[in-house]
Every structure is written in C-alpha cells, then in structure tokens.
C-alpha cells in the first residue's frame, strides 16, 4: 500500500506518536549512560550537562542503520513474525517493570565509577550495550521497515524522529531534575514507574495485534 498525499501526514503523525510511546518507558530505567548524565548534572550543574543529552542522536544512528540494513534482507512475512516477537518482548519488559514496582520501584544510585567516566567512555558503553540492538532489531526496526515497505520512507522515519525526540526530552528532564533537586522523590519515581509499566503493557498488546494482523494478511 502506497500513501497518497492526503494520507501521508496522518500516518506520519500516527507513527511519530508510536515512536514517542515506545521511548517513554525507557526514560525512567537506569543505564550506564543515564547514570553518567546524572553524575555530571550533580557535579557541574544541569546547564553544562544539557549538551550531553543529545549524544544518542550521534551514537544510535549507527545502531538504527545497522538494524534496518539487516532487516531489509529478510522477507516481509518474517518482519511480521518479528513484530509478534517484539510484542512478546515488550510484554516481558512490562512484567519486569511490575515486579520492580512490587519491590519498591527503580533506584537511581550513581556509583563513583559512573561519576569518573569520561563522556566518550559513556558513549562507548552505550554503543556496546546490547539493549539498543535488541530494541531496534526486534521491536522498533520491524515497525520502521514495515511502514517503509507498506507506506513510505517518510512515514517510517517519523517513528524514529518521535522515538528520539521523546527520549532526548526525557534525558533533558532527568538532567534538570537531578541538577536542581539532587534526587528523584519517591512519589515521582513510583508514578513514572507505573506509567512506564502501563505504557509497555499497552504497546506490547498493540504490537501483537498489528503483527498478528499483518502476518495473517500475508499468509492469506
């Protein structure tokens, strides 16, 4: 299915919002790069740390391109299977998020090692982290590729833009929060964890529905 000039803006908006919806649950989860970001905000202040928030736009470009290249070599029906697998993976993450809630929520603890890392060390850790490869290889990549094949390239790219816009805005929010307050309140921490778990659950179910429908359509 190729988009007409009238449907492209609507589909771009829908995939843009999907990208934002997938990025949001990743914001409250600690990672080596986020801990480095917070340590810099605590040491140097949030204003001097803000430029670091945009590092994923540089580092993840390689990961996204690699995932899309690899996925472009497989047949469309297998992309639908990957969307089903991605839905199950997202539901698994939702289950883990619920378990964390029962255990008291996410703990943001900046170690001395994280505080002493250089910016490029943190970037290197981010590149070597398997999580972005899993995310783009199993969950986000198949969404972009399917949108590209069935609609248009700009529709697929709108998902990527939505994802990284939300993700970077989340990093900016964390930087300002820890740079000004010094910590995340228990109430805010729990609220973000609940929202993340709900978002993961809904997105996982949506992925299963869309992936299943696409697979049945191809097999039919």
* pLDDT per residue rounded down to tens, the chain (220 residues): 445 556 678 889 999 999 999 999 888 877 777 877 887 887 788 888 888 888 888 788 888 999 899 888 888 778 778 888 888 888 888 888 788 777 765 565 555 555 555 567 667 767 777 778 888 988 899 999 988 888 888 999 999 999 999 999 999 998 898 888 766 666 776 777 787 778 888 888 888 888 788 777 767 6
pLDDT of residue 171: 94
pLDDT of residue 111: 56
pLDDT of residue 203: 82
| pTM assigned to the model | 0.78
Spacing of C-alpha 103 from chain mean position = 23
| Long-range contacts of residues 65-70, Cβ cutoff 8 Å, at least 24 apart | 66/133, 67/133, 67/136, 67/137, 67/140, 67/141, 68/136, 68/141, 68/144, 68/145, 70/137
Q: Which of 195, 212, 56 is nearest to 136 (CA)?
A: 56
């Amino acid at each position: 299915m190729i988009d007409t000039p009238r449907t492209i803006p609507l589909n771009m908006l829908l995939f843009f919002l999907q990208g934002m919806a997938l990025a949001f649950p990743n914001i409250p989860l600690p990672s080596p790069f986020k801990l480095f970001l917070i340590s810099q905000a605590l040491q140097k202040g949030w204003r001097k740390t803000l430029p670091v928030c945009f590092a994923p736009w540089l580092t993840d470009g390689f990961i996204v391109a690699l995932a899309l290249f690899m996925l472009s070599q497989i047949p469309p029906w297998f992309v639908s299977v990957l969307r089903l697998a991605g839905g199950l993976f997202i539901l698994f993450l939702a289950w883990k998020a619920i378990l964390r809630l029962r255990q008291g929520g996410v703990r943001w603890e900046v170690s001395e090692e994280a505080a002493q890392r250089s910016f490029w060390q943190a970037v290197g850790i981010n590149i070597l982290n398997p999580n972005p490869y899993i995310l783009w290889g199993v969950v986000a990549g198949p969404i972009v590729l399917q949108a590209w094949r069935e609609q248009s390239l700009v529709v697929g790219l709108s998902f990527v833009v939505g994802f990284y816009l939300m993700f970077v805005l989340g990093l900016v929010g964390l930087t300002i929060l820890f740079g000004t307050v010094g910590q995340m309140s228990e109430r805010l921490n729990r609220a973000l964890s609940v929202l993340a778990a709900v978002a993961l659950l809904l997105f996982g179910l949506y992925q299963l529905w869309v992936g299943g429908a696409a697979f049945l359509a191809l097999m039919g």
